[in-house]
Amino acid sequence: MITRTTNLIVRYAETDAQGVVHHSNYLVWFEEARSDFLRQQGLAYSDLEASGFFVVVTEVAVTFRAPAFYEDRIAIETTLVKARGRLLEFGYRIHNAMGNLLVEGRTRHLVLGGDRRPVSLPEPVLEKLLTTRH
């Protein structure tokens, strides 16, 4: 399994009146971290889409452990848990600068072709996803 890290700073707009991150923003952060994971692997969603492949979310699970606050520096560890044909699964762990675990989660995805039907990713794409890059 390959893990990549994405760093963010909590923005004011992501918080409620008490300065606590609203729960919906964690899904946005998962997506940003997943996109960054792909870029770090030498891929990009836009390249996949230009090639006729669309990766859609089919399931999300989130467990909240502790809150994040305005201007917290957070690290999102994204792990590719599964990559088989037309199915992908990513796991996420979000920590603050003190190393406290804030959130754990996962997303499952189905790959669709241009006709919006399930299709397997080509072998060269799967190889990029599964190859450790430095």
Considering the candidates 16, 36, 72, 115, report the single residue annotated as catalytic. Answer: 16
For residue 12, the 8-state DSSP code is G
Q: How many CA atoms lie within 13 A of 7 on its CB side?
A: 5
Q: Which of 122, 134, 15 has the alpha carbon at shortest distance from 74? A: 15
Among the residues of the chain, which ranges form H helices? Answer: 25-40, 45-50, 123-130
16 among known catalytic residues: yes
Q: How far apart are CA 69 and CA 71, in angstroms?
A: 6
Known catalytic residues? 16
